């Protein structure tokens, strides 16, 4: 495919996208709009993927299993050399927050689209990020000052923090390496389990402790920085979760007053600028609605799955801005230039069967019908005849809607979900149709444990 944009970047002529699925497509489209040649990578399982079809070039990087393909830094760097790439965009997941990979890309003379390795180490490591937040005067959940080195040390911290406690992996994300302990006996059992899970998922068994807030809301702030200056793009509500995996997100949060929103976003901006952040990032918080207090918990040093709802309410293309910053451009706008308009919602549609405890359902998509109309966006790699492999995340699509206010956006989402059809693989479509009709969701009255309790109640009445 040829390049049609009038924009020609100064440094990045060819971009390799070190990822797969819908995020690979998302990055390819943004890069092509900026006049960049695009290179997809693919494993044996993704030979016929839509990203492979739409990129200007594609390079095979190995077998289906991610450890031998999308997590293989040497294979990705070899693909960049083979294709003549100037830069690598890591997307999300896989190696997106791997400081060693970021450094290896830089050492190879390429541009890493994201923060540098030292920033990823300081902010991608949750325990280190907490220390940075405290130094910047940003409130954090009471917890250990860093990684706990032993069970005895954990017990000592627990006596000061109080129960219930959350044990969290210092590296990685996605809900892995997390356990909750209601008392000392559970803490003794949970520490080694969390360490083992973190070691298996991220190659790092370090864990730290936080006070557990069972009815907290999960709210995050989107930021962009050029290393000298940063801006925020308001917040997203991500409290509807299952097994600490986000299911449904909206922007703005229905829980925040204008004053609280300003305080939250200003704290995120303060922390972002204190570390000289470069690229797109997200600062995640827990909001204790009973106390009216928010606490920083971690920073994701990459683009987020749910970034489209921020794009919808601000009109700013986050992926294009990431690429511009990586290409050496300063931020193109000031904080006063960024306004929030309307409301947006994202539903994550996964190839999972809710009736079978959300068991993944790989297979071939025999039929798909996407919704359309004003304010409706689909981010997906799925088409009729495409294969959903068993080796990766089960995300099929992100359905995003925007409207002038929250009530209208919920109604638009209900309409869009009704128009959507999948055949050939199971999906969570019916779950989302039920969620947008739920009184608690309609009222914006929910928290991080709401969805799992809601599902248990539904199962009990069926």
Q: What is the pLDDT of residue 308?
A: 98
- Count of all residues that appear for the chain in the document: 462
Q: What is the pLDDT along the chain (462 residues), one digit of tens a residue?
A: 444 444 555 689 999 999 999 999 999 999 999 999 999 999 999 999 999 999 999 999 999 999 999 999 999 999 999 999 999 999 999 999 999 999 999 999 999 999 999 999 999 787 788 889 989 999 998 888 789 988 999 999 999 998 999 998 887 666 677 899 999 999 999 999 888 888 887 778 889 998 888 889 999 999 999 999 999 999 999 999 998 899 999 999 999 999 999 999 999 999 999 999 999 999 999 999 888 999 999 999 999 999 999 999 999 999 999 999 999 999 999 999 999 999 999 999 999 998 888 999 999 999 999 999 999 999 999 999 999 999 999 999 999 999 999 999 999 999 999 999 999 999 999 999 999 999 999 999 999 999 999 998 887 665
CA dihedral 193→198→203→204, nearest 10 degrees, is: -90
What distance in Å separates the CA atoms of residue 139 and residue 57, rounded to the nearest whole number?
A: 46
Catalytic: which of 302, 324, 406, 412?
A: 302
The DSSP code sequence of 49-118 is -HHHHHSSEEEEEE-SSGGGTTT-HHHHHHHHHHHT-SEEE--SSTTTT-HHHHHHHHHTT-EESS--HH
What are the domain boundaries of the chain?
14-113, 151-211, 216-460
User: In angstroms, rounded to a whole number, what is the distance separating the alpha carbons of residues 306 and 291?
Assistant: 27
Q: pTM for the complete prediction?
A: 0.89
pLDDT of residue 55: 98
How far apart, in whole angstroms, are the C-alpha atoms of residue 7 and residue 9?
6
Vertex 273 angle, CA 269 and 275, to 5°:
125
Query: In angstroms, rounded to a whole number, what is the distance separating the alpha carbons of residues 283 and 300?
Result: 6
The predicted pLDDT at position 324 comes to 97
- Residue environment code for 30-61, b if the CB has 16+ CB neighbours within 10 A, otherwise e: bbbbbebbbbbbbbebbeebbbbebbbbbbbb
pLDDT of residue 1: 45
> Which backbone phi and psi does 441 adopt, to 5 degrees?
-70, -45
- Residues 392, 66: contact at Cβ < 8 Å? yes
| Calpha distance 416→436 (Å, rounded) | 11
Q: What is the CATH number of domain 14-113?
A: 3.40.50.20
**Whole-angstrom Cα distance, residue 202 to residue 179?**
16
Q: How confident is the model at residue 124, as a pLDDT? A: 79
Q: What is residue 6's predicted lDDT score, i.e. its pLDDT?
A: 45
pLDDT computed for residue 10 by the predictor: 67
CA dist 457 and 241 (Å) reads 16
Q: 3.40.50.150, 3.40.50.300, 3.30.70.870, 3.30.1490.20: which CATH number matches 151-211?
A: 3.30.1490.20
Q: How does DSSP assign 111-169, residue by residue?
A: EESS--HHHHHHHHSHHHHHHHHHHTT--B-SB-SS---SHHHHHHHHHHH-SSEEEEE
User: How would DSSP label each residue in 352-408?
Assistant: EEGGGTTEE--EE--EEE---STTEEEEE---TT-EE-TTS--EEEEEEEEESSHHH
Integer Cα distance of 268 and 283 in angstroms: 6
Q: Specify the CATH number for 216-460; select among 1.10.760.10, 3.40.50.800, 3.30.470.20, 2.40.50.180.
A: 3.30.470.20
SS3 for 236?
strand
Q: Is 302 a catalytic residue?
A: yes
Number of other CB atoms surrounding residue 462 within 10 Å: 6
Pairing of β 245-251 and β 178-181 = unpaired
Separation CA 342–CA 315 (nearest Å):
11
pLDDT of residue 429: 97
* pLDDT in the model for residue 174: 62
3-state DSSP call for residue 193? Answer: helix
């Amino acid at each position: 495919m040829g390049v049609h944009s009038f924009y020609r970047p100064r440094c990045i002529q060819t971009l390799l996208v070190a990822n797969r699925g819908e995020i690979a497509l998302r990055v390819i489209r943004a890069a092509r709009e900026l006049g960049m040649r695009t290179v997809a990578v693919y494993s044996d399982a993704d030979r016929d993927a839509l990203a492979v079809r739409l990129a200007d070039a594609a390079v095979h990087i190995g077998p289906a299993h991610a450890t031998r393909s999308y997590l293989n830094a040497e294979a990705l760097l070899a693909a960049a050399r083979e294709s003549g790439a100037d830069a690598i965009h890591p997307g999300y997941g896989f190696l997106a927050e791997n400081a060693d990979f970021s450094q290896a890309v830089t050492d190879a003379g390429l541009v890493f689209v994201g923060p540098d390795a030292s920033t990823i180490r300081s902010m991608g490591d949750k325990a280190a990020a907490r220390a940075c937040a405290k130094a910047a005067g940003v409130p954090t959940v009471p917890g250990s000052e860093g990684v706990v080195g032993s069970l005895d040390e954990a017990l000592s911290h627990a006596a000061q923090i109080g129960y219930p406690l959350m044990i969290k992996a210092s590296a990685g994300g996605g809900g892995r390496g997390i356990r909750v302990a209601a008392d000392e006996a559970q803490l003794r059992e949970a520490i080694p389990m969390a360490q083992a899970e973190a070691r298996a998922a991220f190659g790092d068994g370090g864990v730290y402790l936080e006070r557990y807030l069972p009815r907290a809301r999960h709210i995050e702030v989107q930021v962009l920085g050029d290393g000298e200056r940063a801006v925020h793009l308001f917040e997203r509500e991500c409290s509807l979760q299952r097994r600490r995996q986000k299911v449904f997100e909206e922007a703005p949060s229905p829980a925040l007053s204008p004053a609280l929103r300003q305080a939250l976003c200003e704290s995120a901006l303060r922390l972002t600028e204190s570390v000289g952040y470069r690229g797109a990032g997200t600062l995640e918080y827990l909001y204790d609605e009973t106390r009216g207090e928010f606490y920083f918990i971690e920073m994701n040093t990459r683009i987020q799955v749910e970034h489209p709802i921020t794009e919808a309410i601000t009109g700013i293309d986050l992926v294009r801005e990431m690429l511009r910053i990586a290409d050496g451009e300063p931020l193109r706008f000031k904080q006063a230039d960024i306004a929030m308009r309307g409301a947006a919602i994202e539903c994550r549609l996964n190839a999972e069967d809710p009736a079978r405890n959300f068991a993944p359902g790989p297979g071939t998509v025999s039929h798909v019908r996407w919704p359309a109309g004003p304010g409706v966006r689909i981010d997906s790699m799925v088409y009729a005849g495409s294969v959903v492999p068993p080796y990766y995340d089960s995300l099929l699509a992100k359905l995003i809607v925007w409207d002038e206010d929250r009530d209208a956006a919920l109604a638009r989402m209900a309409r869009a979900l009704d128009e959507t059809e999948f055949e050939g693989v199971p999906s969570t479509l019916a779950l989302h149709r039920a969620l947008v009709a739920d009184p608690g969701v309609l009222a914006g009255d929910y928290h991080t444990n709401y969805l799992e309790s809601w599902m248990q109640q539904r199962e009990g009445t069926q």
